[in-house]
Structure 1
Amino acid sequence: MRLIQRYILSEFLKLLAIALGAFIALFMMVDLFENIDLLMKHSVPLSHSVRFFAWKLPFILGQVFPIAVLVASLVSLGLLSKHGEITAIKAGGVRLLRAVTPLLLAGLAISVLVILMNEYVTPVALKKTDSFRQQWFGVQGGSFGKEGVWVRTGRGIFNVRQVDLGRDRLYGLTLYEIEKPFAVKERIYSRSVVWKGDKWVADEAIVWRFKDGEVKREEALSLEINEFIRPEDLPNVENLQKNMSLNELRGYVRSLDADGYDSSKYRIDLYGKIAFPLVNFVMLLMGIPFALKTGRHSGIATGVGLSVVIAFSYWIVYAVTRSLGLNALIPPLVAAAFPDVLFFAIGALMFGYVRE
């Protein structure tokens, strides 16, 4: 039994390595074509360019692992079925469920590995890519923490608790206007600001002006704020949130809740940091019965074709539930976990129809 299990696992791992290599190469090629003009325009040295793409590897691994796992399971077991090895295993009195148990354990191990990588490696690597973009491409920089986004601009430094890209609105804005030498000239706070025309308009703003050791405080029902960031730069600011680890994002969500802001969007991302890595196990649970059911008709083409269909189906369900969650039509936990639960149930149900 152990010899059979090791053999099946080794065939799966071989194809997993090939699939990972292929998908990573594909991602890298697309990324290279997207960035090559910028790299050449700014005369980035080759060694720096290589590091720039290397820092993206952890993120890419986390994205391609599920489809690679699915392809590897379908193709490896499909080839075993096609060559009659699955039939021989059953003829020897070995239960298929026991024979493929190491694959399921491998799926769980990969899920845990991706969770740990996303917590301790990917955030650090993504921050390095952001620093690279700021240094070489002049992209708007900043940092994201429990207090929200911090960004330095020509006017000074601003902090935003929440960004709404769809409505060009910022929540919990604090703007510090800096003058030389480094000293705060003015501080503006507003719970909500919206882009109107070519400027930001704040609702019920409070302004503190600092001069000659004195502080003057003013309140305004409406205040125009200029020259600190434009809406087209907001996606770069919002992307800073993606660099956060699970613990950092949890702290940010708690901070938003404590201050009365809507944290639903970030809760979906928070739960997704666990739900998405678990897709690796779910894809194995889906792939194994599919491969065993197709029998001698299986092969590389069949396995890859089924992988595309299953992955695309998962993506549709994921996109729909996420959209429903972002629009507050379903709870954040349901939005993040439902695709996994649905495909887990389908995979478990299909296992019942596999002939032992």
Structure 2
Amino acid sequence: MRTVRRLLYADVLRAVAFVALAFLSLFFFIDFVEELDNVGRGLYKVQHAALYCLLQLPGHFYELFPIAVLIGSIFAMARLAQSSEFTILRTGGLGPGRALGLLAMLGLAFGLVTFVVGDYAGPYFDAKADSLRGGLRGDAARGANSAWLKDRRVAAPGEEPPGERIDSINVGHVGASGRLEDVRIYEFSADGEMLARIAAERGQVEDGAWLLSDVRITRWQPGEGGRLPADEQLVELRWTTQLSPAVVGASVSPLRSMSTVDLYRYMSHLSDNEQAAQRQEIQFWKKALYPLACLVMVGLALPFAYLHARSGGVSVKVFGGILLGISFVLLSNVSTHLGLLRDWTPWVAAAAPSVIYLLLSLAAFSWLVRYR
């Protein structure tokens, strides 16, 4: 059994590695050609563009790896079928259940690689790439990552009026070091009455508080003609809040570049503050279940080993695998948008494509084993 496992795994791994390398080379070339338009801006040179494209490869690897697993596995299985090696393995005692179990273990290993790259390597190198390009070009997107946050707190002792505070916070940008820029805070009472507006040029997130710099505070205080604004200028202000650095960073990051843990924290924060979180919840479940797509891909590839050589050459089967991969990506995107439009349960919208394709692969596998 060890010899069979070594033979199958070696063929599949070689094919998957070759397809993944081909995809990454193609995407590197496309990204590099597009990035040449930015060369010459500030200190940004050709070598920096090449390094920027290299830093983006882990993100591309995460997105493309399940498709590479599908195409590589189909190629390996079709080649074994064409050379009659898989027929010999079946004659030697490799039953359908054992073959499915062997490839399932390999699919789980591929899924683990996908999870590690998607949750750790991809976001880390994407941040490095953006920092590199923004720093050298001198146009780090100030305000481009603007986001709104919401927080609830109880007024501090001596703060008027007492009671609950509802804060709406706008953060213009979060730097690589976690520094906040262009911070705007609007404080409301529990009845929805505006109490204060805080504007700060910069800020730093600490445990349980934000340390704001160059602060201008406008408070609406009771007067003869109603509540009148009063301005105050401060060099620094320690503002109490429950918003953690992780939540703030997640709010200004693209959803696709966030880790599973960050997505969970962010959607929990939105739900706790009664904000719409359907989009974030669907993205969370897609991110959490995405590594299992590798298991679905090897399941789709196994039936090709049971097709006779006369059913088509290896190239035809690989082409069929490419079409399957494209259809899987399209169905995943359609399912996401339909989930948002129809307000589906988030995990159902995220898991539906994988479940459908897994059932199709098992049905095709069962039919081929029984009738072919």
Structure 2 length normalisation: TM-score?
A: 0.71
Choose from 291, 305, 316 the match for 2:330.
316
Cα 1:115–1:338 shift into 2, 3 Å: same
**In structure 1, what is the equivalent of residue 110 of structure 2?**
110
Choose from 228, 231, 234 the match for 1:210.
231
Cα deviation, residue 342, structure 1: 0.9
Cα 1:186–1:354 shift into 2, 3 Å: same
SS at 2:274's partner residue? coil
Choose from 172, 187, 198 the match for 1:151.
172
SS at 1:276's partner residue? helix
Contact map agreement 2:339 2:349 (CA 8 A) in 1: yes
Cα deviation, residue 308, structure 1: 1.8
**In structure 1, what is the equivalent of residue 237 of structure 2?**
none
Choose from 199, 214, 217 the match for 1:176.
199
Matches of 1:325 and 1:254 in 2, distance apart?
19
Contact map agreement 2:331 2:353 (CA 8 A) in 1: yes
Matches of 2:63 and 2:20 in 1, distance apart?
10
Contact map agreement 1:56 1:129 (CA 8 A) in 2: yes
- Over the matched positions of the two proteins, sequence identity in percent amounts to 24
Contact map agreement 1:145 1:252 (CA 8 A) in 2: no
Contact map agreement 1:81 1:295 (CA 8 A) in 2: yes
Matches of 1:345 and 1:207 in 2, distance apart?
66
SS at 1:150's partner residue? strand
Larger Rg: 2
SS at 2:281's partner residue? helix
Contact map agreement 2:201 2:215 (CA 8 A) in 1: yes
Structure 1 length normalisation: TM-score?
A: 0.74
Which one-letter code corresponds to 2:57 in the other structure? Answer: L
Cα 1:48–1:35 shift into 2, 3 Å: closer
User: How much is the aligned-residue C-alpha RMSD, in angstroms?
Assistant: 3.2
Cα deviation, residue 246, structure 1: 1.3
Matches of 2:170 and 2:326 in 1, distance apart?
34
Which one-letter code corresponds to 1:211 in the other structure? Answer: E
Cα 1:209–1:83 shift into 2, 3 Å: farther
Cα deviation, residue 319, structure 1: 1.9
Which segment is superposed worse, 335-344 or 33-42? Answer: 33-42
Matches of 1:187 and 1:19 in 2, distance apart?
60
Which one-letter code corresponds to 1:125 in the other structure? Answer: F
Cα 1:111–1:27 shift into 2, 3 Å: same
Cα 1:288–1:207 shift into 2, 3 Å: farther
Which one-letter code corresponds to 2:199 in the other structure? Answer: Y
Task: State how many pairs are aligned.
Answer: 300
**In structure 2, what is the equivalent of residue 85 of structure 1?**
85
Matches of 1:207 and 1:326 in 2, distance apart?
43
Alignment of 1:62-141 (within 5 A): 62-99=62-99, 101-137=101-137, 138-141=139-142
Contact map agreement 1:176 1:184 (CA 8 A) in 2: yes
**In structure 1, what is the equivalent of residue 246 of structure 2?**
none
Matches of 1:287 and 1:207 in 2, distance apart?
71
Cα 1:47–1:312 shift into 2, 3 Å: closer
Which segment is superposed worse, 101-110 or 70-79? Answer: 101-110
**In structure 1, what is the equivalent of residue 260 of structure 2?**
246
Question: In the TM superposition, what whole-angstrom CA distance separates every residue of 1:205-264 from its partner, at most 9, and x where no partner exists?
Answer: x99763267xxxxxxxxxxxxxxxxxxxxxxx9653433221111111111111110100
**Which protein has greater RCO, CA pairs closer than 8 Å, 6+ apart?**
1
Cα deviation, residue 281, structure 1: 0.9
Matches of 1:298 and 1:80 in 2, distance apart?
13
Matches of 1:42 and 1:212 in 2, distance apart?
36
SS at 1:176's partner residue? strand
Choose from 274, 290, 295 the match for 1:260.
274
Matches of 2:229 and 2:115 in 1, distance apart?
44
Cα 1:17–1:77 shift into 2, 3 Å: same
SS at 2:275's partner residue? coil
Contact map agreement 1:322 1:336 (CA 8 A) in 2: yes
Matches of 2:148 and 2:102 in 1, distance apart?
40
**In structure 2, what is the equivalent of residue 272 of structure 1?**
286
Matches of 1:79 and 1:126 in 2, distance apart?
37
Cα 1:132–1:257 shift into 2, 3 Å: same
Question: In the TM superposition, what whole-angstrom CA distance separates every residue of 1:288-331 from its partner, at most 9, and x where no partner exists?
Answer: 11342354434431232111221122123212211111224312
Choose from 308, 330, 349 the match for 1:335.
349
Contact map agreement 1:143 1:240 (CA 8 A) in 2: no
SS at 1:134's partner residue? helix
Matches of 1:208 and 1:51 in 2, distance apart?
51
